[in-house]
Amino acid sequence: MDHFVSPSLLAADFGNLEKDILMVNRSQADWLHLDIMDGVFVPNISFGFPVIECIKKIAEKPLDIHLMIIDPDRYLTRFRDAGAYMLTVQYEACTHLHRTVTEIRDLGMKAGVALNPHTPVSHLRNVLPYIDMVLIMTVNPGFGGQSFIMESFNKIAELRKLIDSGGYKVLIEVDGGIDTKNAAKLIESGVNVLVAGSSVFNSDDPEATIKTLKATKPYDAISVSI
Annotated catalytic residue within 30, 38, 132, 175: 175
Annotated catalytic residue within 35, 38, 132, 179: 35
175, 66 contact by CB (below 8 A): yes
Sheet holding 84-90, edge to edge: 4-7, 193-196, 171-175, 133-137, 110-115, 84-90, 63-68, 32-37
Active site residue 220: no
Q: Is 136 helix (H, G, I), strand (E, B) or coil?
A: strand
Q: Is 35 helix (H, G, I), strand (E, B) or coil?
A: strand
Q: Which of 58, 64, 117, 52 is nearest to 89 (CA)?
A: 64
Q: Which of 185, 175, 173, 195 is nearest to 216 (CA)?
A: 185
Tell me which amino acid residue 34 is.
L
Q: Is 100 helix (H, G, I), strand (E, B) or coil?
A: helix
CB count, 10 Å around CB of 4? Answer: 21
Helix (H) or strand (E) holding 81: helix 76-82
Whole-angstrom distance, CA of residue 121 vs CA of residue 156: 9
Active site residue 175: yes
Q: What count of Cα atoms within 13 Å lies in the side-chain half-sphere of residue 67?
A: 29
Active site residue ranges: 35, 175
